Amino acid sequence: MEVEILARLQFAFTVAFHYIYPPLSIGLGLLMVIFEALFLRTRNPQYEQLARFYTRIFGLTFGIGVATGIVMEFEFGTNWAVYSRYVGDVFGSALAAEGIFAFAMESGFLGLLLFGWNRVKPWVHFLATVMVLIGSMFSAVWIVVANSWQQTPAGFHVVGEGINARAEITDFWAMVFNPSSVDRLWHVWNGSFLAGAFLVLSISAFYLIKNKHVALSRKAFKIALVVATFFSLLQAFSGHSSANVVAEYQPAKLAALEGQYEDSDDAGIMILGWVDEEAQKTTGIEIPSLLHLMTNKEIGQDTIHGLNHFPADQRPERINAIFQFYHIMVGIGFSLIGLTLLALFFWWRGKLFEQKWLLRIFVFSVLLPQIANQFGWFSAEMGRQPWVVYGLLRTSNALSEAVTAEQVLFSIILFFVVYAFLFLLFLYLLNRKIQHGPDEAEKVEYSDAPKRTISGIIK
Amino acid sequence: MEAELSYFLGIDYPTWWFLIVGGVFAGYAILDGFDLGAGSIHLFLKKEQSRRIALNAIGPVWDGNEVWLVIAGGALFAGFPVAYASLFSAFYIPFMLFLVLLIFRAIAIEFRSKEDMKWWRNFWDRAYFVASNSLSLLLGVVVGNLMIGLPIDERGNLVGSWLQLLNPYALLMGFTILALFVMHGIIYLLLKTEGRLYAKLRILLNRAVILFIIAFTAASAYGLYAYPKLSDDLQNSLSFWILPSLGILSILSIPQWIKRRKFRIAFVSSALAIALMLGVLAFELYPVLLYSTIDPAYHIDIYSAASSQKSLGIMLLIAAIGTPLILGYTTFVFYTFRGKVRLDENSY
């Protein structure tokens, strides 16, 4: 038992920390592609400066993303040996595909992206940026596929009995396109684009308030605002269809997300609320009937099951936490829509950059997609409990048998110390890069032979 | 359980996948081997300029090289989940340390150049040096334990303390791999440098070759003396004589190639030596993946550890499509950054 809690803690912690960075890399990747495309089209050097500046920040996020990503691949084997034996046949091919198709692509072209500015023609560099973006998006494809398979398993059969049971693949494409893959992937991509767009918005707004790099920042802000508006609207649709999949395939999770204990044939949705797990009651502001309407159920006819419908050992624990994580995510999603539409409105009135208060909000807005991404992930994973593979393998049975609590504790402490140190370094260096800012037009040199050696981009 | 084996070109799928996993590990050792080796001598380069050149020699490629480890881990997980689970849970503490060291190496390379302060750069130089050396050493320890087998029970779980993994043979193998990578890394740096740094690296190379021969001899002698399994295999298999001998020959040829300034051939020689060393390991193991020192009945072989034939077939296809792609853009990136290192504004 103790090993289970520690191992879950360790995995949650290492995933959560890792999950700060890949979404940033995907989102920044998209903006870098846009900046470079605009540069190639207009030959306006400002776009190149933006691309170079954000590439430096990208380098920072990508580096930490890679370093912390390898950890999880190893953890499957170290901490979850039984799980690894059980799912290897299915899960492994997705993971292998990720490495071969996606990760090799992004990391291969990363060198060109970071160091190739003066080595290759602008269009080759642009191509490298596109490849890094596609690679990182493909990474998300395979990782989300692997995780979605755990949520809604498909395309396999179970061979063997008891401790020797394991899942074997029967249909590769049914595994890849399991019921939740597409919706969840779309959701993760949107969340990533939002994370990147809001980082650019935040940095640009910061410069505009400080009256620094004004021309560049206005351009960057507007581009990122368009991206952010588009994806925050899209995210509402994606969230809706993701929730429908949960309703269909993981009813116990749906009940946990909405804090519902009793069956209902006219279920509403809580805007705000609190789950009293002792009393099995959720109180808050509710919109009646909405859950039935959203999940295309007939009011008075169809039943949406509450938690009590499921045997005690088949429903998730910590309902209030799941409820809150989920509702904060949804709330942030709608705030982002409101925020971007408001900014668009001022842009339309031609007064966007006069609203200092709005810019101030945008400086801090960078945290919102990050929080939503994290909390969405928490509710998805906690909602799946007590299963590690939904309906098939319990988390408590998935542990390594040869590993002791002391070993896991040791590694938790180790990772905690290292990650805390890493995070402080990341913030420090990000801050330094923002303070340094993009190189302004007159300072950028366009000759083929670089003149500066030690100074320049890195400092 | 025992399904019909599928064959491709007369070789069964698990064997194909064994070759692929072995190939990817060899690719990793050859590619990241020179990054690690370059890091292992980092503190021997005293001047700031030399250190920067050495870092930028691996700058554009080290990340792509490390991907091979991710693929290798994924390939083992996918192809032989049973062996993956047993190996990784058995090596819990060493692998956790390995991960932390990998993180530190990556971060040291990335962060070192971001500040000018002397203490800052000194700190990351040391982190990079220590991490590179320890990573090679740990890899060698794993290889050594694979050679002699692990105390695993019928469920594939390690029996007893992980400290027994630090036995003398494994440690000697650790030093052997470390020396091998150091040699490999220096040759790569020779390709990328000129002038006084180049001269300095040549002296270091000669020492590394001697160090490797000593470590290799010691590890082999001790292994044959202490582990009858190794000497039995040696007597039974001709390849056991041929592969290491070829490896040693290619290493002995390296100083000659360097003297004639045939760097690329020298580099190919050391890459070949690494591949041959892993070839020995593969020959020694096949068809077993993990030897149990407790009972031969507990050995985990490629047939009992493999994924289903269906899964292996799918992954063979994935590998067949993916490998040319990876080789293609790896070649492109190496070609773009060919020749001696020139520092510019994008450098570390």
Highest mean pLDDT range out of A37-41, A445-449, B331-335? Answer: A37-41
**Per-residue pLDDT tens digits for A369-421:** 999 999 999 999 998 888 888 888 888 888 887 788 888 898 899 999 999 99
Amino acid at B192: K
Q: Which of B103, B99, B101 is nearest to B88 (CA)?
A: B99
Q: What is the Cα–Cα distance from B318 to B168, expressed in whole angstroms?
A: 40
Residues A36, A129 contacting (CB under 8 angstroms): yes
The pair phi, psi for residue B310, each rounded to 5°, is: -60, -50
**Per-residue pLDDT tens digits for B147-189:** 888 888 887 788 877 788 889 999 999 999 999 999 999 999 9
Three-class DSSP category at A274: strand
Q: Quick check: B73 and A111 CB within 8 A?
A: no
Residues paired with residue A264 on neighbouring β-strands, in sequence order: A304
Put simply, whether the predicted model's pTM sits higher than 0.95 gets the answer no
The C-alpha torsion from B339 through B342 and B347 to B348, rounded to 10°, is 90
pLDDT over 90 (residue B257):
no
**Per-residue pLDDT tens digits for B87-101:** 888 888 888 889 999
**Per-residue pLDDT tens digits for A277-294:** 888 888 888 888 888 888
pLDDT over 80 (residue A73):
yes
pLDDT over 50 (residue A445):
no
3-state SS track over A75-92 = HHHHHCHHHHHHHHHHHH
pLDDT over 50 (residue A364):
yes
Instruction: At A251, list the tokens.
Output: 């009813």
Q: What is the Cα–Cα distance from B292 to B347, expressed in whole angstroms?
A: 48
pLDDT of B236: 66
What Å distances lie between residue A281 and A262, A290, A319, CA to CA? 9, 19, 11
**Per-residue pLDDT tens digits for B33-62:** 999 999 998 888 888 888 888 888 888 888
**Per-residue pLDDT tens digits for B222-240:** 988 888 877 777 666 666 6
Strand-pair category, A269-276 with A166-169: unpaired
Distance from CA of B60 to the nearest CA of A (A): 4
pLDDT over 50 (residue A424):
yes
The pair phi, psi for residue B262, each rounded to 5°, is: -95, 75
Cβ-based contacts of B348 with chain A (< 8 Å): 458
| Mean pLDDT over the full length of chain A | 86
Q: Which of A381, A370, A378 is nearest to A336 (CA)?
A: A370
Strand-pair category, A156-159 with A281-287: unpaired
Residues A79, A11 contacting (CB under 8 angstroms): yes
Distance from CA of B168 to the nearest CA of A (A): 23
What percent of chain A has pLDDT above 90?
A: 38
Residues paired with residue B158 on neighbouring β-strands, in sequence order: B152
pLDDT band at residue A359, thresholds of 50, 70 and 90?
A: very high
What Å distances lie between residue A447 and A37, A115, A354, A452, CA to CA? 21, 16, 38, 11
Cβ-based contacts of B318 with chain A (< 8 Å): 93, 96-97, 100-101
Q: What is the Cα–Cα distance from B334 to B61, expressed in whole angstroms?
A: 7
Amino acid at A114: L
Q: Quick check: B74 and A96 CB within 8 A?
A: yes
Mutate to test the interface with A, among B16, B86, B92, B120 (most CBs of A within 10 A): B92
Q: Which of A338, A363, A396 is nearest to A202 (CA)?
A: A363
- Give the ipTM: 0.81
Q: Which residue has the higher pLDDT, B56 or A29?
A: A29
Q: What is the Cα–Cα distance from A65 to B62, expressed in whole angstroms?
A: 15
Q: What single string gives the DSSP state of each residue in B189-238?
A: HHHH--HHHHHHHHHHHHHHHHHHHHHHHHHHHHHHHH-HHHHHHHHH-S
pLDDT of B218: 92
Q: Which residue of B has its CA nearest to A79?
A: B89
Q: What is the Cα–Cα distance from B145 to B314, expressed in whole angstroms?
A: 31
